[in-house]
Amino acid sequence: MFGCPGLGSLRSRRVRLLQQPLRRRQVRHGATTAGTSRIEDVEYVSRARHEEMKKELDRLQVGERQRISALLEEAIKDGDLSENAGYEDAKMRQGLLEARIRELESKLRHVALIEDQDNDGATIGVGSRVKLREIATDDEVEYQVVGPEETDPRLGKISHRSPVGKALIGKTAGEETDVVTPGGTTRYLIVSVERGA
């Protein structure tokens, strides 16, 4: 059999590396950014979404990492890594997994719970429910301003980072505001503001 000297030791070294526990970075779940002055720097989420994000991170860091490690180990046993589709697939999955873990860790480092926001209810902030009237047409629309993680336009949930959200933050009922979008500028009257749940 033709072989390359040292290939066996290379394979066993890779297997040993894959079997070693991965170092888990400690992320303070729920660490808030009280000193942050810019609303764009904060990840606003509801308490329920915050719990979902923590559970997903834990599941990915433990279960998924182990599963992909086992796939890589099995693919390495199959031989030549340069033409090993199983190995390439497992490496791609590992890359996607690690990217999602980094994304969740970053978001959790900058999280602020909507329910904990000090909002008087009269001023629009993240979590506020708002009724708007378009000045030109008298059409009314209702929104809840939320963080990007919970945006769902079908349910009237808009991000504080969206054009409408940015135009509303800090305003009160009775004020008018211009919303600038790629389609043009629309002027709205803020009919009512309620503190969200």
Per cent of the chain over pLDDT 90 is: 45
- pLDDT tens, 29-59? 344 444 444 555 677 888 888 899 999 999 9
Q: Which residue has the tokens 């279960």?
A: 63
Please state whether 172 falls in left (phi above 0), alpha (psi between -120 and 50) or beta: beta
Rounded to whole angstroms, the Cα distance separating 112 from 108 reads 9
| Structural domains of the chain ordered from first start | 7-114 (1.10.287.180), 117-194 (3.10.50.30)
pLDDT at 119: 67
Nearest to 146 by CA among 158, 130, 129: 158
Rounded to whole angstroms, the Cα distance separating 83 from 65 reads 23
pLDDT at 38: 56
pLDDT range class, residue 17, cuts 50, 70, 90: very low
pLDDT at 197 over 80: no
pLDDT at 66 over 90: yes
pLDDT range class, residue 192, cuts 50, 70, 90: very high
- The reported pTM is 0.59
Mean pLDDT in residue range 19-28: 40
Rounded to whole angstroms, the Cα distance separating 12 from 18 reads 10
Give the 3-state secondary structure percentages of the chain, helix then strand then coil, rounded to 5. 45, 20, 35
Q: Supply the mean pLDDT for the chain.
A: 79
- pLDDT tens, 139-189? 999 999 998 888 999 999 999 989 999 999 999 999 999 999 888 999 999
Rounded to whole angstroms, the Cα distance separating 22 from 15 reads 13
